[in-house]
Amino acid sequence: MADPGLPSGWEVRHSNSKNLPYFFNASSKESRWEPPESTDVDKLKAYMAQNTKKPEGKIHAAHLLVKHKDSRRPGSWKEPTITRTKEEAIEILKGHERRIQSGEISLGELAQTESDCSSARKNGDLGLFGKGEMQKEFEEVAFGLEPGQVSGVVDTASGVHLIQRLG
């Protein structure tokens, strides 16, 4: 088996509930989503590319969500009560879109601080999903993107999004 580039005692495991890989240390029983310190990131990327398969019909995407007062749940980890209008949310998102398109910052980096979704802590990463698992408007755009491509503004009941297809 290929070397995953992890420190001694660590291994890559797969979470069935989240359908994502995680890292486990058998001797300390510690588990974590992020690679442990002193991981050889290049070896880990090569290992993951070789040893993980995308389930048939699923895509991998990330997003940046800006909620507004008419969103399905107008509150987030950043703001308990969101009072901005939909138009203000769209303007905020268009500003983020300009920064991403200019190459100033990636969607994932920006999502960490600016997304109203709890996926912000994972760079906006939503993991793998298939058709029928996301809101229709979101899904149609996400499945229409090429890997690496970032959408324009996408309006759903949750708020307005920028979506990046990761795979």
Tokens standing for residue 42:
């290049």
**Do 125 and 55 meet the contact criterion of CB atoms below 8 Å apart?**
no
Show the tokens assigned to 72: 């399905």
Catalytic residue among 68, 76, 117, 164: 117
112 is catalytic: no
Question: Which tokens go with 8?
Answer: 């001694």
Count of CB atoms situated within 10 Å of the CB of 70: 13
Say how many CA atoms lie within 13 Å of 158 toward its Cβ. Answer: 18
Active-site hit among 71, 76, 158, 164: 158
Indicate the DSSP class of residue 3: -
8 A C-beta contact, residue 159 and residue 66: yes
Which residues, 6+ apart, have CB-to-CB distance to 49 below 8 Å?
none
Catalytic residue among 76, 96, 161, 164: 161
Is residue 60 annotated as a catalytic residue, yes or no? no
Amino acid letter for position 103: G
- Catalytic residue list contains 96: no
Q: Which of 63, 68, 76, 151 is labelled catalytic?
A: 63
Q: Which residues are catalytic?
A: 63, 117, 135, 158, 161
